[in-house]
Amino acid sequence: MTGSHDCRAAVALDPQTQLVLWGLRVHAAGMRMGVPVSEPVRATFAQAMAEDAAGPLEALVVFIGRGAARTVEVKCPQCPDVTADERLLLRLLALYQAGRDLPALFEARGLLTPSAARVSGPVFRMAATALAQCGLRLTDETLAAPMPPPFALIMPEHATIH
């Protein structure tokens, strides 16, 4: 939320994914500024018939805030840009909705400390399941761009023999 950018344009995502992204962003902003946002998020999710997903989504944001290995880049709720970190969070939720827990655990290491990543499964699964039960299924677009953690891209300089 630093720097100048135009936050008036709509995010180019389907409405369901856009609502989930908005919820993640509002909860992150609330944590960052120390402002309670649970009730406005719950009311907005209730309008979309997804009130039961608001609490688990908040729990996920709190977990990420406490277990992050680095600063996670989350934009303001109305920003048209979607950061790589936000895409990864959406992808992780989509992977859990698709029952692909193992790849999700591996990819969570791109955001979380090793110990947080190891125990992140139940929190992501709870949020993903609550979203799905409320009809908020994340689309294949979310799954389209796998982002391996940076440390998985290390290549040896010379051929190795094993």
Arithmetic mean of pLDDT, 98-108: 92
Q: Do residues 123 and 59 lie in contact, with contact meaning Cβ atoms separated by under 8 Å?
A: yes
Q: How confident is the model at residue 78 (pLDDT cuts 50, 70, 90)?
A: confident
Q: Is the pLDDT of residue 33 over 70?
A: yes
- Helix/strand number for the chain, H first, E second: 8, 0
Q: How confident is the model at residue 142 (pLDDT cuts 50, 70, 90)?
A: low
pLDDT, residue 14, reads: 86
Domain boundaries, the chain: 15-136
Q: Is the pLDDT of residue 123 over 80?
A: yes
pLDDT, residue 69, reads: 94
Arithmetic mean of pLDDT, 92-104: 93
Arithmetic mean of pLDDT, 42-46: 95
* Selection from 128, 59, 119, 131 nearest residue 100 by Cα: 128
Q: Is the pLDDT of residue 86 over 90?
A: yes
Cα–Cα distance, 27 to 31 (Å, whole number): 6
pLDDT, residue 140, reads: 59
Percentage of the chain modeled with pLDDT above 70: 78
Q: Is the pLDDT of residue 1 over 50?
A: no
Q: Is the pLDDT of residue 94 over 80?
A: yes
Arithmetic mean of pLDDT, 97-121: 93
